[in-house]
A and B are shown apart, each in its own frame.
Chain A
C-alpha cells in the first residue's frame, strides 16, 4: 500500500482481556518498529524487526507484551491480560532499509487502546 496501515484504529478492552494489534508496513520495507505513546507524551520504543527477525525487544514493558512478524511483512503486537496502564496509542513505523536512513521512518496513524 501507499502508507503504513494499522488496525483496528480504536480498541476498547476490558481489563484482563487479550488484544492483538496489526501493522501492515509499506511493501518491501525491511525494518519495522513498534512504539507506545501515552497521552501527552512522546512515543516510546517497544521493539524492532529486520525482516522476520526481532532484533531488539528491550522496550517491551513486561512479558505480557509479545510481537511477531513471521513472514517479514505484516506484524502483530499482542498484549495479554491487559491492564489500565496499557492504555495508549500504539504506533507502527517502517523503513526501506536497515533503519539508518536519514529520511526517517514512515509511521502509521496508530491504534488507540483503551482498557476499562
Chain B
C-alpha cells in the first residue's frame, strides 16, 4: 500500500520569500510518480509538478521545484518568490507507474498563507 504524509497542517510565508512544503511517502513499488496539487478555495485541484521515481534530476516548473530525496522517501515542494495568489491548500500525491492501478494517493495537505 502507498502512503503520503504531510506533517505541516499550516504554513505562513512572507510575500516574495521562498517556502518549502514537506512530503514523505511510503511504498514498496519500485516505480512510482510523485505529484503536487494546489487547491484554492474554489475547490478545483490544480496540477503543479511531477517527479518520476527514476528521474535523475529534480523537477522544476517555473517558480515550483521538487526536492526529491529518494533514499529518504521525501518529495518536498519549494515555491520561490511567493505571491499572494499562492495562498491555498497544497497536496502531495503518488501513483504507481506499473501495473493496473491508476489512482492517486493523496496526503492530508498543507494550508499555505502568503502574508503581504
Q: Which residues of chain A have a CB within 8 Å of any CB of chain B?
A: 31, 33, 40-45, 48, 55-56, 59, 89, 91, 93, 98-100, 102-110, 112
Give the shortest distance, in Å, between B37 (CB) and chain A (any CB): 7
Given contacts A42-B106, A105-B104, A107-B45, 7 further A-B contacts (CB under 8 A): A31-B102, A48-B103, A56-B100, A59-B103, A89-B43, A91-B45, A104-B47
Interface string of B78-111 (1 = CB under 8 A from A): 0000000000000101000100111111111100
For B93, what are the chain A residues with a Cβ–Cβ distance below 8 Å?
A: 42
| B43 in contact with A109 (CB, 8 Å) | yes
Q: Which residues of chain B have a CB within 8 Å of any CB of chain A?
A: 4, 33, 35, 37, 42-47, 50, 52, 91, 93, 97, 100-109
| B107 in contact with A108 (CB, 8 Å) | no
| B45 in contact with A43 (CB, 8 Å) | yes
Known contacts being A41-B108, A100-B97, A102-B33, is A108 close to B44, with CB within 8 Å? yes
For A56, what are the chain B residues with a Cβ–Cβ distance below 8 Å?
A: 100-103
Q: Which of A41, A43, A104 is packed against the most chain B CB atoms within 10 Å? A: A104
Distance, CA A44 to CA B4, complexed state (A): 12
Distance, CA A86 to CA B42, complexed state (A): 21
A93 in complex: contacting residue of B4, B42, B45, B107, CB < 8 Å: B45
